[in-house]
């Protein structure tokens, strides 16, 4: 009792100290799960830190929807975005044209857009520099004079209405040999001469690496994807010094500079924090401290976060699903309803569920735990219910006929008899949970999904394995743990082989 | 004469429109063995389970020792009855001993009282002492049935209700257990007026145990009385047919060697 009071006092005290010292960061930065966004987020974070402001950085969150929801939900204050994405994705269907229309739509949601950071990351057509030089090709319209060229485009670009079909019609391109090809393979195909031009993003790191010439879009067919920063309007009042700090970046990053930073991070595997720090030092003369963690400490940190997500969500799921399973057997009508609801929850795509919860729970571990909790319910509820229903009628009636009250029957007879099925359900939930928890990284909860996400972004198999292997090992460990638990928790009489007479 | 242990008045039961038991009156006499007999689906098990309060009659009333069984008193009343079922209905996660003593432990009997009663029952049923620590899956069919019987008798019930107790046993074990069961009934009856209600479809078993036989067919009582009365004055041609329905080796010999 005294101990509990002490703990409560400690928790309260630490909360008060936090509040008094103002450990709440002045600026919270977010970024999407691709390298350019991660670098831009680093730049914003470091430029604020250089001013002595406390800034936190949630890197590589799931995607546009999650960042936009997090910005509106006051979970982050600023994140890098592209004008084209704002018009096409965030306000899709609104038909916004031009920066003014975008600014107006954003302002209605209480969001400000910075000026362009200095580059336009849009679709572009690239071809090997030497070949372009030899054929005298500078602009996309020059391609019309060379019908023999072999073109290879990413499948998305070929099928998108504003991709190849629009380009072909507008420039009257005569090429016959056009095929779909995976984006990463396209560069190698260009190098080997299998294709002679491909679509790319205008700041792709590979442009430098493969010595490609980016052809000028002289007819302005491709929409503008100017890099900007989105931040809430109230930030200018709450943290004017932070706002003016990151607005320093406006107009300072050119397309070649961005491309060079992407190349360092993606091709040379330099950490984004280092890339950003070097850029700030060279361009703005700012010197920032970059801390780099070791592989071991990172894995340990991921393990801690992963276990936290899995343990809390699983315990909560057991506490809720077991009684629900009992209710299912006692009241079959309500049981049908319960099983349908937990079944439907299972069919909600995880990303949708995470986005849906941001307004209520923000980003980070909370929504991840709730999502994992919800996904863990079905196996436990269903196994508990079927375990109880499969108790032979004569055994159930024998317990009733003895005069044991209902609660005692449940405790002494029915739950122990259903325990193998219940444990199997919990085991299923736990193993699935360990796998699903990797999705927590999409919403900033960390865990083994973090290196997987980074690995996918950097096309780095080693990093992917740094997340995938520990997650798989953890799943096996959990499975093993439950097999031991079965030996301890399932009554001996149920583990004996049936007597054969 | 003692009042009846059970008094059922106008009880009936249907399951989803199918009649299991037509409105029926029945008294079970104290200190006697009453056998409910009939084919499957005749309503004999339904009747037995009504006495236990496991089945609630759609109409009518069930009285145990002149008290009407209701949801409020059913738990307390069941503790004064013993119940055994085909196959034993033993709890597989408890040892034989734990099965037998479950209720006594729940009612917080002192350990010495539990031990004494258990020793008495083991002796009565001639159950091997070492078998008490075995789990149901480690017992033979006959042993499981003895454990089930001990569990039914543990609290010293006023009435024992048995539903096809020997149904799942091979003929030799069954024959032995019938004798044993009868001697157990007599031994318990010597000490106090224990009544027995037994359900079976075996007319030989019914005649062997029963002071009173109750023959059911299609949810109705056809005849009630001693086996002699059944033979001497059958109420219905069905009674005679039922009495003859079981083949013995003697029948076979007579029919092949006229």
Residues A116 and A128 in one domain: no
> Would the CB atoms of B103 and A494 count as touching at under 8 Å?
no
Chain B partners within 8 Å of A492 (Cβ): 93, 135
Q: Are residues A323 and A183 in the same domain?
A: no
The two structure tokens encoding residue B73: 């008193």
**Distance of alpha carbon A20 from alpha carbon A103, whole angstroms:** 37
Q: Do the Cβ atoms of B93 and A491 come within 8 Å?
A: yes
Residue A499 to residue B139, Cβ atoms within 8 A: yes
pLDDT of residue A362: 84
- Nearest residue on chain A to B100, judged by CA atoms? A402
Option in A398, A492, A501 nearest B89 (CB): A398
Kindly identify which residue of chain A lies nearest to residue B136, measuring between CA atoms. Answer: A493
Strand partners, B63: B7, B68
Which helix or strand (DSSP H or E) is residue A456 part of? helix A449-458
Cβ–Cβ gap B78/A403 under 8 Å: yes
| Residue ranges in chain B modelled with pLDDT below 70 | 1, 247, 252, 255-258
| C-beta atoms of B89 and A395 within 8 A | yes
Is residue B90 less than 8 Å (CB to CB) from chain A? Answer: yes
Structure tokens at B55: 């089945």
- Distance (Å, whole) CA B144 – CA B152: 12
- C-alpha distances (whole Å) from A75 to each of A43, A58, B76 are 19, 10, 60
Please name which of A56, A92, A62 lies closest in space to residue A76, comparing C-alpha atoms.
Answer: A56
Name the domain boundary from A163, A186, A215: A215
- A410 interface with B at CB cutoff 8 Å: no
A406 at B interface, C-beta within 8 A: no
pLDDT, chain A, mean: 88
Residue A173 lies in a domain: yes
What is the arithmetic mean of pLDDT over A35-52? 93
User: A407 in contact with B at a CB cutoff of 8 Å?
Assistant: no
Residue A88 is given by DSSP the state I
| Six-digit token string for A353 | 């569920």
Domain-terminating residue out of A184, A215, A246: A215
> Same domain, yes or no, for A265 and A187?
no
Query: Cβ–Cβ of A492/B93 closer than 8 Å?
Result: yes
Please tell me the predicted confidence (pLDDT) of residue B1: 56
**Is residue A94, in this structure, part of any structural domain at all?**
yes
Q: Please tell me which of the candidates B52, B94, B140 has its beta carbon nearest to residue A493.
A: B94
Nearest to A496 among B81, B138, B161 (CB): B138
- Both A102 and A251 in one domain: the answer is yes
Pairing state of beta strands B195-200 and B159-163? Answer: parallel
Mean pLDDT of A265-277: 91
How high is the pLDDT of residue A18? 42
How many domains does the structure of chain A reveal? 3
For residue B168, what pLDDT is reported? 73
Cβ separation of A493 and B135 shorter than 8 Å?
Answer: yes
Secondary structure of residue A112 in the 3-state scheme: strand
Nearest CA in chain B to A414: B91
Q: What is the DSSP letter of A33?
A: S
Q: Is residue A332 part of a domain?
A: yes
Please tell me if residue B76 touches chain A, with a CB cutoff of 8 Å. Answer: yes
pLDDT of residue A23: 59
Task: Tell whether A388 and A464 lie within a shared domain.
Answer: yes
**H or E element at residue A180:** strand A178-180
- B29 touches A: beta carbon within 8 Å: no
Which residue of A403, A408, A493 is in closest CB contact with B79?
Answer: A403
| Cα A41 from Cα A276, distance rounded (Å) | 9
Please name the member of A394, A416, A491 whose beta carbon is closest to the beta carbon of B89. Answer: A394
What is the chain B residue with the closest CA to A411? B106
* Residue A178 lies in domain: 123-215
Backbone angles phi, psi at B12, to 5 degrees: -145, 160
Residue A437 belongs to a domain with what CATH number? 1.10.3720.10
Identify the pLDDT of residue A8: 47
CATH number at residue A37: 3.40.190.10
pLDDT band at A418 (very low <50, low <70, confident <90, very high): very high
User: In terms of domains, do A379 and A491 share one?
Assistant: yes
Nearest chain A residue to B87 by CA: give it.
A394
Task: Compute the distance between CA of residue B26 and CA of residue B10 in angstroms, rounded to an integer.
Answer: 9
Write phi, then psi, for A174 (nearest 5 degrees): -90, -5
Q: Is A136 exposed, middle or buried (0-12, 13-18, 19+ CB in 10 A)?
A: exposed
Q: Please state the rounded mean pLDDT for residues A338-350.
A: 92
CA distance A205 to A122: 14
Contact list in B for residue A412 (CB cut-off 8 A) is 102, 106
User: If you write DSSP's letter for every residue of B190-256 in order, what string do you get?
Assistant: HHS--EEEEEES-HHHHHHH-SEEEEEETTEEEEEE-HHHHHHS-SSHHHHHHHH-S--HHHHHHHH
**Highest mean pLDDT of the ranges A442-446, A451-455, B100-104, B173-177:** B100-104
pLDDT in tens, A69-111: 999 989 999 999 999 889 888 998 888 888 999 999 999 999 9
pLDDT of residue A88: 83
Counting one residue from chain A and one from chain B, the pairs whose CB atoms sit within 8 A come to 81
Do A274 and A300 fall into the same domain? no
Are A118 and A259 in contact by the 8 Å Cβ rule? The answer is: no
Confirm or reject contact between B247 and chain A (CB < 8 A).
Answer: no
Answer yes or no: is pLDDT of A47 > 60: yes
Is the pLDDT assigned to residue A15 strictly greater than 70?
Answer: no
Do A399 and B137 make contact, defined as CB atoms within 8 angstroms? no
Nearest CB neighbour to A402, from listed B49, B78, B95: B78
Task: Please tell me the predicted confidence (pLDDT) of residue A263.
Answer: 92
Does A422 reside within a domain?
yes
pTM, two decimal places: 0.77
The backbone region for A43, taken as left when phi is positive above 0, alpha when psi lies in -120 to 50, beta otherwise, is alpha
Looking at the complex, report in whole angstroms how far the Cα of residue A402 sits from the nearest Cα belonging to chain B: 6
In terms of domains, do A307 and A386 share one? Answer: yes
Identify from B46, B78, B92, B158 which residue to disrupt to test chain A contact, counting A C-beta atoms within 10 A and taking the largest count.
Answer: B92
pLDDT of residue A359: 83
- CATH code at A205? 3.40.190.120
* Nearest CA-CA partner of B88 in B46, B160, B141, B128: B141
Nearest CA in chain B to A493: B93
Given a contact cutoff of 8 angstroms between Cβ atoms, the answer to whether A450 and A302 are in contact is: yes
Percent of chain A with pLDDT over 70: 94
Chain A partners within 8 Å of B78 (Cβ): 400-403
- In a domain, residue A442? The reply is yes
Same domain, A30 and A168: no
Give how far Cα A327 sits from Cα of A343, A346, A393, B24, Å.
Answer: 16, 20, 18, 35
CA A50 to chain centre: 28
According to DSSP, the residues that pair with A232 across neighbouring strands are: A111
Distance CA A57, CA A49 (A): 11
Q: Residue B64: list chain A partners with CB under 8 A.
A: none
**A388/A406 Cα distance (integer angstroms):** 13
Judged against a pLDDT cut of 50, whether residue A483 lies above it is answered with yes
Question: Within the 153-172 window of chain B, which residues sit less than 8 Å (CB to CB) from chain A?
Answer: 161
Specify whether A489 is located in the same domain as A343. yes
H-type alpha helices, A22-135: 35-50, 64-72, 83-85, 98-108, 129-135
User: Which of A181, A215, A249 marks a domain boundary?
Assistant: A215
Contact yes or no for A403 and B135 at CB 8 A: no
Residue A7 lies in a domain: no
Yes or no: say if B101 and A500 are a contact pair by the CB < 8 Å rule.
Answer: no
CA dihedral B61→B66→B67→B70, nearest 10 degrees, is -20
Q: Does A408 touch chain B (CB under 8 A)?
A: yes
Whether pLDDT at A1 is above 70: no
Q: Sign of the CA dihedral A160, A164, A168, A170?
A: positive
The ipTM value here is 0.89
Q: Is A13 among the domain residues?
A: no
Stretch A185-203: mean pLDDT: 89
Ranked by mean pLDDT, which of A57-66, A352-361, A424-433 comes out on top?
A: A424-433
A12 in any annotated domain: no
Residues A146 and A105 in one domain: no
Residues A114 and A231 in one domain: yes
């Amino acid at each position: 009792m005294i101990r509990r009071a002490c703990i409560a006092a400690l928790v309260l005290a630490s909360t008060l100290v936090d509040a008094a010292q103002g450990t709440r960061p002045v600026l919270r930065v977010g970024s999407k799960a691709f390298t350019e966004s991660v670098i831009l987020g680093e730049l914003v974070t470091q430029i604020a830190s250089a001013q002595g402001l406390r800034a936190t950085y949630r890197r590589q969150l799931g995607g546009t929807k999650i960042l936009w929801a997090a910005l509106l939900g006051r979970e982050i204050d600023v994140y890098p975005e592209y004008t084209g994405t704002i018009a096409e994705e965030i306000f899709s269907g609104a038909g916004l044209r031009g920066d003014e229309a975008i600014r107006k739509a954003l302002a209605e949601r209480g969001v400000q857009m910075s000026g362009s950071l200095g580059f336009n990351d849009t679709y572009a057509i690239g071809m090997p520099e030497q070949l372009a030089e030899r054929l005298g090709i500078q602009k996309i319209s020059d391609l019309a004079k060379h019908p023999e060229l072999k073109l290879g485009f990413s499948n998305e670009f070929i099928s998108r209405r504003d991709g190849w079909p629009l380009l072909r019609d507008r420039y009257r391109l005569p090429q016959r040999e056009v095929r779909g090809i995976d984006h990463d393979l396209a560069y190698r195909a260009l190098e080997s001469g299998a294709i002679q031009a491909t679509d790319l993003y205008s700041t792709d790191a590979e442009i430098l690496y493969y010595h490609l010439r980016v052809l000028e879009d002289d007819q302005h067919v491709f929409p503008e994807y100017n890099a900007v920063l989105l931040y809430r309007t109230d930030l200018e009042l709450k943290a004017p010094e932070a706002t003016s700090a990151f607005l320093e970046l406006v107009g300072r990053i050119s397309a070649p500079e961005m491309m060079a930073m992407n190349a360092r991070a993606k091709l040379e595997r330099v950490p984004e924090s280092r890339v950003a720090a070097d850029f700030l030092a060279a361009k703005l003369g700012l010197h920032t401290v970059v801390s780099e963690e070791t592989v071991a400490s990172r894995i340990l940190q991921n393990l801690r976060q992963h276990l936290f997500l899995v343990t809390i969500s699983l315990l909560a799921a057991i506490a809720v699903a077991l009684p629900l399973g009992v209710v299912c057997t006692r009241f079959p009508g309500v049981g049908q309803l319960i099983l349908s609801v937990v079944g439907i929850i299972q069919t909600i795509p995880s990303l949708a569920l995470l986005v849906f919860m941001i307004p209520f729970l923000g980003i980070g571990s909370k929504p991840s735990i709730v999502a994992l909790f919800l996904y863990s319910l079905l196996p436990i509820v269903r196994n508990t219910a079927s375990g109880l229903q499969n108790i032979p009628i004569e055994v159930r009636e024998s317990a009733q006929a003895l005069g044991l009250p209902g609660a005692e029957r449940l405790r002494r007879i029915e739950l122990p008899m259903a325990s193998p099925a219940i444990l199997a359900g919990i085991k299923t939930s736990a193993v699935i949970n360990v796998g699903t928890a990797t999705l927590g990284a999409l919403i900033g909860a960390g865990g083994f999904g973090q290196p997987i996400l980074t690995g996918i972004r950097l096309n780095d198999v080693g990093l992917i394995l740094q997340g995938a292997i520990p997650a798989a090992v953890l799943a096996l460990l959990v499975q093993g743990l439950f097999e031991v638990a079965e030996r301890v928790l399932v009554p001996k009489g149920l583990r004996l082989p049936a007597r054969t007479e | 004469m003692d009042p009846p242990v059970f008094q059922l008045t106008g009880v009936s039961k249907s399951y989803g429109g199918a009649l299991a038991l037509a409105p029926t009156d029945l008294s079970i006499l104290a200190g006697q063995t009453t056998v409910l007999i009939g084919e499957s689906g005749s309503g004999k098990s339904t009747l037995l389970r009504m006495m236990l309060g496991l089945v609630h009659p759609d109409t009518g009333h069930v009285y145990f020792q002149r008290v009407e069984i209701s949801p409020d008193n059913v738990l307390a009343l069941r503790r004064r009855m013993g119940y055994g079922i085909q196959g034993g209905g033993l709890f597989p996660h408890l040892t034989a001993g734990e099965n037998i003593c479950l209720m006594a432990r729940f009612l917080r009997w002192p350990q010495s009282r539990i031990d004494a009663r258990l020793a008495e029952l083991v002796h009565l049923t001639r159950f091997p002492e070492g078998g008490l620590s075995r789990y149901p899956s480690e017992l033979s069919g006959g042993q499981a049935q003895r454990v089930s019987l001990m569990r039914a008798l543990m609290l010293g019930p006023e009435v024992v209700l048995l539903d096809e107790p020997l149904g799942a046993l091979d003929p030799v074990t069954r024959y032995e257990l019938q004798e044993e069961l009868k001697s157990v009934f007599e031994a318990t009856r010597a000490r106090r007026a224990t009544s027995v209600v037994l359900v079976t479809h075996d007319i030989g078993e019914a005649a062997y145990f029963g002071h009173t036989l109750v023959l059911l067919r299609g949810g109705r009582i056809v005849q009630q009385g001693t086996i002699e009365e059944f033979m001497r004055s059958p109420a219905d041609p069905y009674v005679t047919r039922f009495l003859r329905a079981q083949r013995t080796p003697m029948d076979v010999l007579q029919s092949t060697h006229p």
